[in-house]
Amino acid sequence: MKRREFMMSAGLLGAELGAGALFAQEGAPVQDPVERMTAGSAPSIAMCHAGFRPDSAKMLVYRLTGGMEPKQFAMYDVGSGPQFRIERPLKKIASDFGDCLIGEFTDIAREGLYQVKIGDERSVPFFIRPDAWRRTLPKAVGYHKWQRCGVEVPNVHKVCHLDDARRRDNGQHVDETGGWHDAGDLRKWMSATMMNGFGLLQVARNLGEKWDLAGSGLAPIREEVKWGNSYFLKMQDTDGRVWADVAGGVNGDNTDNHWTDNQIGTADDRYLNTKKTGLIQAMFVALEAMMAQEFREADPSYSQQCLKAGLRCWAANQREGSTRDLSWWAIASLELHRATNRDLYAVTAALIADQIVGLQERDFAHGQKQVRGYWRASATDTDPYKDTLDSSLPAYVLLESARAYPQHKNAGQWRDAVKLYLGEYVLPMTARSAYRILPYGLFAGSPTPETYRPLAGELTYRYFMPVRKQYFWLGLNSHYQCCALVLATAARDLGRPEYRNLAYRQIEWIVGANPFAASMMTGEGMRNPYPHSRYVGLIPGGIMNGICGNANDEPVLDTEYGLTWRTNEYWSPHVAYYEWAHSVLESA
């Protein structure tokens, strides 16, 4: 998505990075400006800006930065209701990112608008109300329309890219108009923008007509997902397989990230990448099978069109690949079974679920007895599985498989694998910081010259992506929300309400409960950093990449209007996982 960064086309990359690259000629790493943007003088009180449901856990974190340690916090009603005030003790805990004080008020279910005060510092105002999160969903759903390509979006941009696209391989024009711009740019990556479809369809599936408390019904969701899918269907080649992107550039560069004259055959026409990766095939099959189900009654003819496209892609591909690829093929198989009721797809889904169980590290590996239950990267790569987007997806597909086929002989093993993952990996790793977020992942030793936190034996971990390994490193807001999705699903399917509370902690990090006390969702909360969105500007409901780490694995965020893409760029998967996770949390 962000290879070579958008500033290259504007001639700004060299200006921001000095040398125009992240590595000196001798190969020694140089510091990216975002690495210096630590929490510093950010507010000490960190808590969820969106508020809390009355029945959920309620926590605040107070960062200790030297000086006096307060002993208690006061919480009081700042709305129009009767006077209300409580005082509670603060508890000091050792935590990664430094010692912190924790304040808890889970027992307060009284609805109202509140503020917390610790010493001379006040928190942002926050609600306790049943719809504290539900009221944010329309903002997220509305984000997608702002990102439409091939049409005028009133007050956002004029009609655009009617000349998409020319093939990279032979220059031939193929109609690839429509779809959504992917992020803070104008490109259309299939793997990222298909996530918009999953987010919208999961809201429709899990919450139905009442997803929007204002009563708009499913019509706007169906209209939006149909708009995006028109582009996805065009990206299917005659062999049934699906191309990778439009406007990704010719050599992974940024040359296609521009407005065009909308005239086919002129010099500014953007390119179609005809590469066909296994991940995109699996996602396409899953999405078209879900589309077929959503439109089965609303538009039967269109439903069949989607199903046929998904089946053509299924027939043209093998169900194989990495742990991530297999997870998406499992979802594709489940959705095809739901769409067709054919046993073939149920059998395949179960077989892939068994493969995923086989990829789990069930023993205490690497000379330690601290954690287990995580996944290996693939059948041939024993490194712990890590991903910026789909990090917890293997556990999700096992829960979905067990729910879809409860009588299957291995359904118990699928659930047990998830219990092991959550109980002996997620819980101990999230307990290491006051914010309870899941670190990016585990490593064997220190593979790059930067900080890797020791765990035990040979294992280390980082909260954030390494910054000395490769050019591509960014914030992990999808990673947290994918974890929240699994925790929310497990709370429902395994009867573990404590997982629901931990799910909210992952999302609360995005909406203020972080060392910067900043909300990374535009239009929600306070201290919103300005997004890297160079063509459109602010998009209500847009979610930024999020907090990164520097070489010392300390949290960094651009709060200085630097338009830094690593932390501040909008990206479709973050909004999609927000919708997906909340659709499960709100349906319980």
What distances in angstroms separate CA 163 from CA 146, 238, 254, 259, 267, one per listed residue?
A: 20, 21, 18, 10, 11
Cα separation, 176 vs 187, in Å, equals 12
pLDDT of amino acid 81: 77
Tokens coding 563: 């338009």
Cα separation, 573 vs 193, in Å, equals 7
Q: Which residues contact 25 (CB under 8 A, 6 or more apart)?
A: none
Query: Whose structure tokens read 């990112």?
Result: 97
The residue type at 224: E
Domains of the chain, start order: 51-128 (2.60.40.10), 134-587 (1.50.10.10)
For residue 441, the tally of other CB atoms under 10 A from its CB is 23
Cα separation, 215 vs 165, in Å, equals 39
Q: Per-residue pLDDT tens for 349-362?
A: 999 999 999 999 99
Exposure of 164 in the CB half-sphere (CA atoms within 13 A)? 30
Cα separation, 525 vs 517, in Å, equals 10
Q: Got the DSSP string for 422-454? A: IIIIIHHHHTTBTT-PPPSEEEES--SSS--EE
In sign, the C-alpha dihedral spanning 405, 290, 585, 556 is positive
Give the 3-state DSSP-derived string for 498-553, with helices as H, strands as E and coil as C.
HHHHHHHHHHHHHECCCCCCCECECCCCCCCCCCECCCCCCCCCCEECCCEECCCC
Q: Which residue stretches of the chain have pLDDT < 70?
A: 1-30
Cα separation, 173 vs 161, in Å, equals 13
Exposure of 29 in the CB half-sphere (CA atoms within 13 A)? 15
- In angstroms, what is the C-alpha Rg of the chain? 23
Helix (H, G, I), strand (E, B) or coil at 223: helix
394 Rama class: left (phi>0) / alpha (psi -120 to 50) / beta: alpha
Cα separation, 4 vs 471, in Å, equals 8
Are the C-beta atoms of 28 and 111 separated by less than 8 Å? Answer: no
pLDDT of amino acid 30: 63
Tokens coding 11: 């001639």
The residue type at 452: Y
pLDDT of amino acid 29: 57
Q: Which residues contact 13 (CB under 8 A, 6 or more apart)?
A: 4, 5, 7, 20
pLDDT of amino acid 17: 29
Helix (H, G, I), strand (E, B) or coil at 219: helix
Give the 3-state DSSP-derived string for 162-206, with helices as H, strands as E and coil as C.
CCCCEECCCCCECCCCCCECCECCCCEEHHHHHHHHHHHHHHHHH
Kindly report the length of the chain.
Answer: 588
Cα separation, 292 vs 286, in Å, equals 10
Q: Considering the entire predicted model, what is its pTM? A: 0.94
Among 360, 352, 362, 437, which residue's Cα sits nearest to residue 400?
Answer: 352
pLDDT of amino acid 13: 30
Exposure of 394 in the CB half-sphere (CA atoms within 13 A)? 32
